[in-house]
Amino acid sequence: MCGIVGYYGKNEKKEIVIEGLRELEYRGYDSAGIAIMDKEELCHFKAVGKLSNLETKMSDFHSQGAGVAIGHTRWATHGKPTELNAHPHLGEYSFVVHNGIIENYKELKEQLQSQGASFVSQTDTEVIVHLFESHQNRLKNPFAAFEATIKELRGAYAILLITKAQSDTIFFAKHGSPMLLGFNTDEIFFASSDTAIIGKATEVYYLQDGQYGAIEGGAVKLFDTHGSKTFVRQKLSADKAMAQKEGYRFFMEKEIYEQSTVMGDTLMGRVMDNGIAFDEIDTTLLEGIEDIKICACGTSYHSAMVGAYLLERLAKIKTSVEIASEFRYKEPLLTPNTLFVTISQSGETADTLEALKMAKKAGLRSLSICNVDNSSIVRESDAAILTRAGIEKGVASTKAFATQVMVLWMFTLFVAKQRHTIDNEKLQQELSAILQTPTALKFNDTLHAKINRLSKRYLHGHGFFFIGRDIFYPLALEGALKLKEISYLHAEGYPAGEMKHGPIALADSELFTIALMPQTMQYEKIKSNVEELSARDATILAISPLPFELADDFIQTTHANHPMLEFFEMMVVTQLLALEVAIRLGNDVDMPRNLAKSVTVE
C-alpha cells in the first residue's frame, strides 16, 4: 500500500511532507523516510516504526529556501521493516520513493549488479534509483534517463525521484498505484491521496496510468506513451471529511466502490504462478495440524463460514466455525492439533480476543486474519495475515469483508497445496479466478442506478429473507446483516433449502425475498426453493445471471465461470441495496444507531 508525499516550493519542506505522511500513515507504518534537497545538499532521514519515530529523529533539522522533498511511509512487501529497506532509496546521487511492486526487479538487479551497482536493501524499489543513475551516467540528461528507466519497469508503481544531477526537479511516474499533483500559487505537491494535501493545495490533478514527467522550474512537464500531454486541474475541496469521501455521499458508498482496487492490494505479491505465497507465515504453521477452528463475530463470522466451505472442499481439512461470544462460555473441547484462526477487521473485538487467549492457553497454534497491523489480536496471535483493505470508516463493513473472504480463499489454496489435496489443473483454475476478482468487483453506474430505483419498493413490509446455498448462504447472512445494520429493517439470512422447514409460514406479498441464484452453484436447487416461495406470493428480488420469470424484480449478474466470482459480484449488489434503502429512509449510513466500529466490550 505505502503512502507517498512530494513537495516543490519554498516553505519548510520537512513540516509539509510529515504532515502529509501523517494523513497517509494508515497505508503503512512499518517505517518512514524523507529526502530533502537543501541548499544543493541531499539530506535524508529514515526510521523504523511509526512516523513519530521519524519526527523525533528529524527534530533538529530545518530546511531552508526553495527546493524539493519526497517522503514515504512504508508497508513492507519485499524485505523486512528495517531502516535499510525503508524509502527513500539512495543511489550515488539520487533518491527514490515508490508505492507498488516492480515485478521484473530481479532481472534488473542482476543486470545492474553486473555493471557494478551495489545494493543495500532487499527491496524491489532500489533497482529504480540504480537504473536511473546508470541511464543518467550514459545519457547525461536526467529527463531522458528517467524516461528510459520507466520504460524498463514492469509492474505497478507510483514513483517520485530527486537527483543532484538536476537538483530543483522532482521526476514522477504513475502506473497502477495512486498519485496526484496538487497546486497553489507557488507550490506543487504530490501525494498518494488528496487527504495529504487538503488545506495546502487549492487545485488537483489525478495522474492517469502511464503518465510520467517532471516539475522543472515550477512548471509541470507531463507525458504518456503518445508524447507530451496537457491536463486540466480541478478544484480541491478544503473540507477534509468531504474530500476523504471523494464525492461519495457516505464512506460506506466509497468503500463499496473501492473494493476492486483494495482487492489488488490484498493480492499483491501473494499470487504466484504455482500457488499462493504468504510472507507472513511459513509452512511450519500447519505441521501436525489435523483440523481448523475459525472464530469471529458479525461480518467476520460470515467470512469465516465461507472459509470453512472452501477449506473442507479444496484443502480437505475438517473446519469448524465459532461465534466468539458463544465459544468463550461453551467449555469447548480443544486439542493441540487444531489451528485456531481468528478473523477481525479491527483486531480489537473483545470477544474474539478473549476467545484467542483461551485457545492459546489450551496450547493451540493461532493465526489471525486482520485488517489492522499491530492490533491486539495480531499481537496475540502466533502468525497473522493482513487483509490490506485500508482504513474502513463506515461502521457497516464492506471492503473488509471482501478482503477477508479473499484471504481465506488464498489460505485455502495455500493449505491445499501443502496437503496435496489439489491437482495442478484445479489450482491453476483457482489462481486464474482469483486474479479476475478485482474485475468482478467493478460495477457501473447503470447497476447502481437500477438498485437505487428498485430500493424504493423495499422500504416497508414485514421482513426480508436473504436466501442462498453453499457459500451463498453466508453471503445471504451478510446481506441481511448489512441491511439491518443501516436500514433498521428486519432481515434474516437463511439457507434456501431450510425455508420449507418453518420460515416459509411467513410468506406473503409483504415478505421480501432476496434470492442469490448463482449459475455455477446448485442453480436448479435454489430455483426450486424460490419457486416454493413465489407460489406462496412472497415478493422476490432475484439476483442471477440467468433470467428468472417468477421474479418480481431482477438484477442480472455476469455469466462468470467460477462461484467465487459470482459471490463477489452478488456481494456488491447486496451492499448497494442496503445502502440505497438506508439512504431513502434518511439514516446515517456511516454511523448507524446503537453500533460502533470497534466492539471492545463483551
| Site residues, ligand AGP (CB under 6 A) | 297-300, 344-346, 349, 352, 395-397, 485, 595, 599
The residue among 452 and 598 lying less far from ligand AGP, judged by its C-beta, is 598
Query: Which residues have a catalytic role annotated?
Result: 2, 597
Distance in angstroms (rounded) separating the CA atoms of residues 422 and 122: 33
- Our CB check for ligand AGP shows the closer of 375 and 522 to be 375
- 483 by DSSP, 3-state: which? helix
Please report the DSSP string for 503-571 in residue order. Answer: GGGG-STTEEEEEE--SSSSHHHHHHHHHHHHHTT-EEEEEESS--TT-SEEEE----SSHHHHHHHHH
- Least distance in angstroms from the C-beta of 414 to ligand AGP: 22
- Residues paired with 94 in a beta bridge: 163
C-alpha cell recorded at residue 482: 448489512
Query: Which residue reads 459470482 in cell numbers?
Result: 566
The CA-atom distances, in angstroms, between 503 and each of 201, 467, 494, 506 are 57, 11, 9, 6
Contacts of 141 (CB under 8 A, 6+ apart): none
Query: Shortest gap between Cβ of 471 and ligand AGP (angstroms)?
Result: 18
Nearest distance in Å: CB 330, ligand AGP:
19
Q: Report the residue number, 46 or 399, with the smaller CB distance to ligand AGP.
A: 399
Closest approach of ligand AGP to the CB of residue 583, in Å: 17
β-partners of residue 223 are 212, 228
Q: In 3-state terms, what secondary structure has residue 257? A: helix
Strands 539-544 and 275-276 turn out to be: unpaired
The residue among 275 and 298 lying less far from ligand AGP, judged by its C-beta, is 298
| Grid cell listed for 349 | 473485538
The residues with which 205 forms a beta bridge, in sequence order, are 181
Report, in angstroms and rounded to the nearest whole number, the Rg of the chain calculated over CA atoms. 26
| Residues 492, 506: Cα–Cα separation, whole Å | 12
Min dist CB 191 to ligand AGP, Å, is 28
Q: How far is the CB of 575 from ligand AGP (least distance, A)?
A: 10
- How far CA 179 is from CA of 45, 159, 226, 228, in Å, comes to 22, 8, 20, 18
Nearer to ligand AGP (CB atom), residue 16 or residue 343: 343
Q: Which is nearer to ligand AGP, 77 or 397 (CB)?
A: 397
Write the DSSP symbol of residue 187.
Answer: -
| DSSP, residue by residue, 349-395 | -HHHHHHHHHHHHTT-EEEEEESSTT-HHHHHSSEEEE-------SS
- Shortest approach of ligand AGP to residue 300 CB, angstroms? 4
Q: Which amino acid is at 109?
A: K
- Which residue number places its CB atom closest to ligand AGP? 298
**C-beta of 38 vs 255, nearer to ligand AGP:** 255
